[in-house]
Amino acid sequence: MPVIVVANPKGGVGKSTLSTNLAGWLARQGHAVMLGDVDRQQSARTWLSLRPPELPTIATWDTDHEDIVKPPKGTTHVVIDTPAGLHGKRLDEVMKLADYVLVPLQPSIFDIYATRAFVAELQVRRKHDKVKVAVVGNRVKDHTIAADQLKSFLETLGAPVLTHLRDTQNYVHLAARGLTLWDVAPGRVEKDLEQWAPVTAWAAQ
């Protein structure tokens, strides 16, 4: 049962956006998906409450904010949304479950330095070399100084960079209705689906 953890100690980098869309893609492939939310804000759980019942099912689990609850029998894939400031014992608990760790990163100098230290910490804490760590540039505006700085930084990070996701209101509009890129007509989100292709290929390994 593959477990994909979406994590970054910096808040507001798009962890819930990546988590919900990953879960939506897996559900669309016919998998029995569990979206775990260990963020105190419970953003993923709120999103699930908005999801139309006729769409591919994404289940959730309950946590008491101290112990991570394992998914019930029948689940084939798990996506875990994590809080800002994830570290210490809590990070250790998440890493014990992880097969994949996806790190979203926005093109800001504050995010860049926080993420450099976090990726180094992940390399130390992962349970074995089979845990795959990768980075996604998020809310990237092409042809800006911030985007150029991000690309230069990612070349030195020491973890594979899967893709850059553009800054678009598509994610905002979809999230407000409990939807993902894979729940609407492809023509509406064609560019976004193209940008996500490396992420879904990585998760399907």
The string of pLDDT tens digits covering residues 61-110 is 755 555 556 676 789 999 999 887 777 788 888 888 889 999 998 877 77
Residue ranges covered by each domain of the chain? 3-203
User: pTM of this prediction?
Assistant: 0.87
Tell the CATH superfamily of the 3-203 domain: P-loop containing nucleotide triphosphate hydrolases (3.40.50.300)
**Selection from 55, 103, 58 nearest residue 76 by Cα:** 58
For 108-162, how does the pLDDT look when each residue is reduced to its tens digit (9 = 90+)? 777 777 788 888 778 776 655 678 889 898 888 776 766 677 777 777 777 788 8
CA distance 42 to 110: 24
The predicted pLDDT at position 106 comes to: 82
Nearest by Cα to 86 from 99, 71, 101: 101
Nearest CA-CA partner of 178 in 14, 48, 57, 45: 48
Which token pair is 202?
Answer: 């990585």
Q: How confident is the model at residue 3 (pLDDT cuts 50, 70, 90)?
A: very high
pLDDT of residue 69: 64
Backbone angles phi, psi at 72, to 5 degrees: -70, 170
The Cα 107–Cα 126 span in angstroms is 25
pLDDT band for position 25 (50/70/90)? very high
Nearby residues of 5 by Cβ (< 8 Å), 6 or more positions away: 80, 82, 94, 95, 97, 98, 100, 101, 102
Task: Report pLDDT for 172.
Answer: 94
Closest CA to 196 of 159, 158, 177, 170: 170
Q: Which amino acid is at 29?
A: Q
What percentage of the chain reaches a pLDDT higher than 70?
88
Q: What confidence score (pLDDT) does residue 113 get?
A: 78
